[in-house]
Amino acid sequence: MATSSPLCQLNGGCMGCCGHDFPSVQSIRDAIRENTVEFRSARPQSEVDFHTFRDRRSPMDLRKGVCRNLITENGCTLCPLHPARHQGKDLRINHCDIDYLCKTAKTFAKWSPEKQEEFIKFIQNQNLDNITYSLKMDRGIILKEFCDKEEKEEQNNLCSVK
């Protein structure tokens, strides 16, 4: 879960880049639920505890395509290794690519603040659950829908001034 884009925090937390080859929305939910049970049982407190939890399996040993560190807390999907939970120390280093950004987030970063705001509204209007949102973000589906809409509006505007 990269964090340098505001898009990563929308809809209860995006998890689109916390795994790959996801089989289905339900299996992602099941995997996160199982991860959460393991996390609660481990109850990590110290940095060593968090590393022990993280290293219980290798980074490539995913659960139904999902990273085994991804959990839910108060209805949000999150990574318990994130620096925001460790006074700025990033416990994800050496486990996943902390600088990764999906194509959608990279494209979003190049837009004007107005266009970014429009895109966020476009996302909010879809009322997606967080897993569907994550998959649509990672696969660039929302980005394509938004660009198609923009293109259509542009064509309509051109037609109306002719």
Nearer to ligand SF4, 119 or 138 (CB): 138
Q: How far is the CB of 19 from ligand SF4 (least distance, A)?
A: 7
- Of the pair 6, 154, the CB lying nearest ligand SF4 is at 6
Residues within the interface to ligand SF4 (CB under 6 A) = 1-2, 5, 7-8, 14, 16-18, 67, 69-70, 79, 81, 92, 95-96, 101-102, 104-105, 134, 137-138
Q: How far is the CB of 104 from ligand SF4 (least distance, A)?
A: 6
Smallest gap from residue 67 Cβ to ligand SF4 (A) = 3
Please report how close the Cβ of residue 100 comes to ligand SF4 at its closest, in angstroms. Answer: 6
Are 23 and 6 within 8 A, CB to CB? no
Q: Which is nearer to ligand SF4, 61 or 114 (CB)?
A: 61
Distance of alpha carbon 140 from alpha carbon 69, whole angstroms:
24
Question: 75 vs 161, which CB is nearer to ligand SF4?
Answer: 75
In sequence order, the 6+-apart residues with CB closer than 8 A to the CB of 156 are none
What is the nearest approach in angstroms of ligand SF4 to the Cβ of residue 35?
8
Question: Closer CB to ligand SF4, residue 12 or residue 92?
Answer: 92
